[in-house]
Amino acid sequence: MNAQQDDEALLRISGLRVGFGSPKHRLTVLDGLDLSLRKREILALVGESGSGKSMTALAAMRLLPQGAAVTAGEIRLDGQDLIALDDKAMNKVRGARIAMLYQQPKIMLDPTATVGSQVAEAMRLRWNLSRAEARPKVIGLLRDVGIPEPELRAKSYSYQLSGGMAQRVMIAAALSAEPEVLIADEPTTALDVTVQAQILRLLRKKRDEHGLAILLITHDLAIVSSIADRVAVMYAGRVVEQGPAREILNAPSHPYTQALLRSSLMQAKEDGRLYAIPGHVAASHSMTCGCRFQPRCTLAGQLGIEAQCLSDEPRLETVSAAHESRCWGKGREGRVHAV
């Protein structure tokens, strides 16, 4: 369902544009992005590096890097326009109502502060708790995320933690103020398979227990199949396909989604070499018209629609209930054929 039409959305991003530089020399990285996330939903945002996934997360948190700015669109959390908030008001929302779980947790943790103090920070700010009042809550939360000897670990520093333990601490810190939305940006990167599975089970448990809505940013489609309710596929700053996870993974409509699946499954080409998507993600600011995936797509040639793909960008069109795809080839020969 289109983000603009989803009345049940807890987090709704509509027509979002983000760019770097001055108005005369702006490089657009998110271009008319529409996305929605409902309560208790795990939405996986997938795509190659450079597609705009992490920039979407930073925009939602109002933590864009220096030089980047929102130039159009809305980001609404339960109806509240986050873009319109001043910094003081946004600081009250960030961590308390919407929180983020970052990549590389050991780098993100403050090496000069104890684990306990970092986990306690958001809850102390939200509920004005003293250190003594926050301590039992911190211990309980560390225990809840599966950290052994939480009393001892609360006194530890980040350099004393393994990668999996650091990620659990980051989850505890992100959940400490009981946010409504958690944005998890590649939360299992660099973790071994066992720890990865534990982290995913933990996120699913928190969703089930507290009604948490999770925006999961990942390039790993195996993770998507194990945890996501719905999938949105990004390419060059736009969503090109979205729908129920099972349908997207089993019957993808957009040739880019098909190519992602083929490369993720390590399928071989006719010559025996592993399949890889040719070329690279085009910068959204370089796309003046036409389909953004067209330079890397073989479908247009197969169907004889190159001129249309070059001149006009397709809209998100319904494939089936709650499943949409942005491709001129949709419906030409039933389902779009794999690239």
Domain around 273: 3-325
Q: Do you know the residue count of the chain?
A: 339
136 within domain boundaries: yes
Q: How far apart are CA 205 and CA 56, in angstroms?
A: 25
pLDDT band at 1 (very low <50, low <70, confident <90, very high): very low
pLDDT tens-digit readout, 110-145? 999 999 999 999 999 999 999 999 999 999 999 988
332, with CB counted inside 10 A (0-12, 13-18, 19+), is middle
> Please, where are the H alpha helices in the chain?
53-60, 87-93, 105-108, 115-127, 131-144, 150-153, 163-175, 193-210, 221-227, 245-250, 255-264, 299-303, 306-311
pLDDT tens-digit readout, 224-235? 999 999 999 999
pLDDT tens-digit readout, 36-91? 999 999 999 999 988 999 999 999 999 999 999 999 999 999 999 999 999 999 99
CATH number of the domain enclosing 214: 3.40.50.300
**Which of 77, 97, 90, 83 lies closest to 37, judged by CA?**
77
| H or E element in which residue 37 lies | strand 27-38
331 within domain boundaries: no
What total number of domains does the chain contain? 1
332 within domain boundaries: no
Residue 67: the pLDDT is 92
42 within domain boundaries: yes
Cα-Cα-Cα-Cα dihedral sign, residues 29, 312, 282, 293: positive
335 within domain boundaries: no
Token pair, residue 284, equals 């959204």
**Which of 67, 65, 81, 70 lies closest to 33, judged by CA?**
70
